[in-house]
Chain A
Amino acid sequence: MIEIRDAVKHYGNLVAVDHVNLKITKGEKIVIIGPSGSGKTTLLRMINFLETMDSGRILLEGTDAGYRRDRKGRLVLDRPEVICKLRSEIGMVFQHFHLFPHMTTLENVMEGPLTVKKKSRKDAKAISMDLLGKVGLLDKKDVYPAFLSGGQKQRVAIARALAMNPKIMLFDEPTSALDPELVGEVFNTIKDLAEEGMTMIIVTHQMGFAKELGDRVIFMDNGYFIFEGRPNEVFSDRMDNPRVKAFLAKVL
């Protein structure tokens, strides 16, 4: 359903994403691992246009999406309304949650349906209450984010993304900012979602995601894919790629 072809992204002289190709089919769960600064997050943010490619193509259901050529032939982001429409169908969860601090939990989740989808308050509330129930935070609906734990915040952030009824969910290190004892609740929430058949890409340092959820695990370093395979291949003793082995030895 989403395909990235030959994506390149530079930050000055640094190549963050180096001619990457990635094809995601519906219902697939892809876990991207790799050391810091390897370009995983940049790649993820590219998919919902928070980062722009320098060159390459993004195809949705087989057609180019999100980019056009300006008069000089350069690749530029499409008009804002087009981008917003695309983004509204892609859910994203950030490492640092980025909940809206001035809104209660419920209002955070309602915001998308209300403002972007222009749903009625009643409908938006129904959707949001349902999702809060799903992430197990219905009792916190009138609480402001500042009064939630990290794990609770991230679960609200997941509910907020789901409220837009996205076709795919992008998780950018969803548990990296959490205390170890809070990782489990977020992990379980994502796992539930995976079991429902949600298409997702997870960038993480948490190998549990790769082992338990991944249909495909990608090891990324220096802006390109070093290794791509099924979890049991990555975590097997027969793994012969030295960089993957060195990385796994450190994190496991």
Chain B
Amino acid sequence: MEVRRSVSVLLCALTFFSLFLTPLASAAEPDIYEVLALATRYMHDGNLDKALELFQKIPPPGKGEDGGVFVRARMEASKIYFIRKEYADSARMCDEILAIFPDNLEAGNILSQVRAAQTPKWLRFLKDMKTYFPTLLKASGMTLVLVLITMLVSPVIGLFIALGRISRTGVLSSVFWFYIWIFRGTPLLLQLFFIYYGLPQLGLILKPFTAAILGLGLNYSAYLAEIIRGAIESIDAGQMESAKAIGMTYWQAMRRIIVPQTYKRLVPPVGNEFIALIKDTALVSTIAMVELMRAADQIFNATFNIFILIQAAFIYLLMTSIFTISFRKLEDRLGVYEAR
């Protein structure tokens, strides 16, 4: 009984003591709050030197202290140093925080900004370029896929339309005339919007890739049809006559005699169209296709690195240059039967 009593007395005493002790401990250093308030006031008044001095007087928290004031003070100091572009000191402030509170997000953020600010702009840009180059390259792959598919599909459809336009079948010719009128007479961008955003309202939902191929294919078929028609009509009428004179039908003459002679004449204008096509694929970035332009746009928005755009420009230039050279070579090869 006696023992139990004394234990409870002791507990009471301890409780009382601890209750008494805590306010006493904070009362022991009331100055850090005052220092913080004072420093903040100096900061607002524009006396940054004094503010910095005071902020740094606040010591790291002792055992059992929460350190809020210390973190706050060092953070403010770091920001002041950052604004003054004294990055080393700014970083030192953050390091002091992180040494005690390694998980402090705000300090980590400022530190990474300090690091970024410390690196020269050009170096940062170079790093970005290196970082994002694979992304751009991958996206150019999609651009190239779009170009190649359109290049394969549109001349075939274009030839078909051209032959229909030339034929004396009135209905077919009018239908194709209308088709060309629509697709050459409206912006490709509008056509893409119509296909991707408009057709779903009529119940036809297309994937971005399908919509892109459809838009580019239809548009370029219309252009190529007119070019091919022009080329066919430019072939000397005597060719059709002499083909008929040996007994060929109209279609045999077209297939064997007339159309093959257009190939060389077609290369320069069609080459031009395909180079325009490479650049026009950039428009499909507006219908959720990730290709070179879209990728470059996204990266640029994240980095504001002008070199990303230049890098994309170079990839476009590389593609158009390869095309230009190839078409030049092709033209020479197709012209072997011509006297120079």
Contacts and interface: CB of A to CB of B under 8 A. Distances in A.
Interface of A: 48, 50, 80-81, 84-85, 87-92, 94, 96, 98-104, 111-112, 115-117, 144-147, 157, 160-161, 163-164
A115 B252 contact: yes
B248 A84 contact: yes
B246 A146 contact: no
A153 B136 CA distance: 56
Nearest to B340: A146
A102 B249 contact: no
A227 to B, nearest CB: 29
Nearest to B237: A98
A239 to B, nearest CB: 34
Interface stretch (B38-46, B253-261, B272-280): B253-261
Contacts of A115: 248, 252, 256
Q: How large is the interface on B (under 10, 10 to 19, 20 to 34, 35 or more residues)?
A: 20 to 34
A100 B257 contact: yes
Interface of B: 236, 238-239, 241-250, 252, 256-257, 260-261, 336-339
Contacts of B250: 80
A112 B257 contact: no
A102 B337 contact: yes
A112 B337 contact: no
Given A144-B337, A147-B339, A102 B260 contact: yes
14 contacts: A48-B245, A50-B241, A84-B244, A84-B247, A87-B244, A89-B247, A92-B245, A98-B236, A102-B337, A112-B246, A115-B256, A146-B338, A163-B246, A164-B246
Contact of A160 (B246, B260, B338): B246
B337 A101 contact: yes
Contacts of A161: 245-246
Per CB-CB distance, the 3 closest pairs between chain A and chain B, nearest first, are A88-B247, A98-B242, A146-B339
Given A101-B261, A101-B337, A94 B242 contact: yes
Contacts of A96: 238
Contacts of A144: 336-338
Given A87-B246, A145-B337, 14 more contacts: A50-B244, A80-B250, A85-B247, A87-B247, A88-B247, A94-B242, A98-B241, A101-B261, A102-B337, A115-B248, A115-B256, A116-B246, A116-B252, A117-B247
